[in-house]
Amino acid sequence: MDEHSFQHSVELAPLRGAYDEPCMFGVVVTPSRPHIHIDSLPVEWLRDLVRDRRLVVLRDFDSFDSSHSLVRYCSAFGEIKMWQFGAVLELVQHPNPEDHVFDNSYVPLHWDGMYLDTVPEFQVFHCVHAIDEAQGGRTIFSSTPEALLVAPPQARELWSRARGSYQRSVALYSSRTQAPIIDRHPRRHFPILRFCEPPRDSDDTFINPSIFEFDGIAPDEHQMLLSSLRSALYDPRVSYAHHWQAGDVVVADNFTLLHGREAYASRSGRHLRRVHIHGDPPLNNPHISTSYQHQANQAET
C-alpha cells in the first residue's frame, strides 16, 4: 500500500475506558473500508505508533487465519523471541493447570520476560476466540509513566526508595529478579515503573504464585507501598481493560506498560495467541539475578 492510499485507509481514535472517558495512553486503529488486511499496514508506522502511544488496538481488519500467518507477520515486525514451545503462546485454559497463566483465574500486573535473560519490547496478541463480556477475561494494561503522573508526591517518594525482589519457578524456568519500583526506560530513559503485583491477600486458590519481597522501605510502609501502587496503576486514566473481539490484534509496549488479566468463566473457550518481539538490539534483562540466568537460558533453548 502506498503512502497516499494508506493515509485514507485507517482511522485513529483514543482508547476509551469503562465510563467512556479517554485514557491517557493508547489508540484504536480501524479500517475505513472493508477487507484491509493488517499486513498491508506499514510496519515502521505501526512500530512508531506503539512506541508513541504504548498500546495499539487494531480492530475490524482482516487478520490471521493461523498461528503460521501470525508468525510470518511478526517476523516482519521485528526479531521474534523464541521460546522452548516456539514463537506462539496459545493462551487457553488448561484442564489441570500447573500455573495461573493457564488457569481461568485473574493474573496480577507484571511485565513479560522479567524472569528471562532477554526482555521483549513488544507483545503482539491475536484473539482467536472471544467470549461474552459478562464472562470476564479482559486483558488489563496499565501505563506506568502516566501512573507516575497521577500519583501523589508522597507515593512517588515511597516508590523511589523501594525495590522489588521476585522469584518464580515454572516448567520452563526458575529465576529471581530484582528491580527498583521506579526505573528508567531501557532505551529512551524516561521514568517507568517495574512492579510485579502480588496476588490478593488470602487468595489460596491462586496457582503457583511468585515469591515477593520489597526492601528499601520500613516494614510498616509495606502495605502503603502496595496500596499506593495499586491505586495509581488501576486509576481509570492510566489503566485500560480490553474486551476482546475475534480478530482483534493488540500490540503493547512491554518496556513501558504492565499487564494482567481478569478472571473468566471456566470452559468458556477464551483463546488468544501471543508473540514476543525484541527491540533492536534485543534487551539483555537488567534485573535478573545471574545465579539463576543459566537455568533461564537452558529453559529457552
From the CB of 159, what's the least distance to Fe ion, in Å?
22
User: Residue 110 CB, nearest distance to Fe ion (Å)?
Assistant: 6
Contact 88, 277 (CB under 8 A): no
Output the smallest distance, CB 28 to Fe ion, in A.
21
Site residue total, Fe ion (CB under 5 A) = 1
Cβ proximity to Fe ion, 112 vs 235, nearer residue: 112
CA 106/CA 260 separation, integer angstroms: 7
Task: Confirm or reject binding of residue 112 to Fe ion (CB under 5 A).
Answer: yes
Query: Per-residue b/e over 11-21, b at no fewer than 16 CB within 10 Å?
Result: eeeebebeeee
Closer Cβ to Fe ion, 112 or 248, answer by number: 112
Q: Closer CB to Fe ion, residue 36 or residue 112?
A: 112
Residue 36 DSSP SS3: coil
Least distance from Fe ion to the Cβ atom of residue 210, Å: 12
Residue 73 or 141 having the CB closest to Fe ion: 141
- For residue 196, give the nearest of 242, 229, 147 by alpha carbon: 229
Select from 250, 248, 266 the least CA-distant residue to 130: 248
CA distance 202 to 137: 21
Nearer to Fe ion, 112 or 121 (CB): 112
Which residues in 29-88 contact Fe ion (CB under 5 A)?
none
Ramachandran region of residue 85, left (φ > 0), alpha (ψ -120 to 50) or beta?
alpha
User: Nearest approach, Cβ of 67 to Fe ion (angstroms)?
Assistant: 18
Of the ranges 15-23, 47-55, 109-117, 172-180, which one interacts with Fe ion (CB under 5 A)?
Answer: 109-117
Which residues make up the interface to Fe ion (CB under 5 A)? Answer: 112
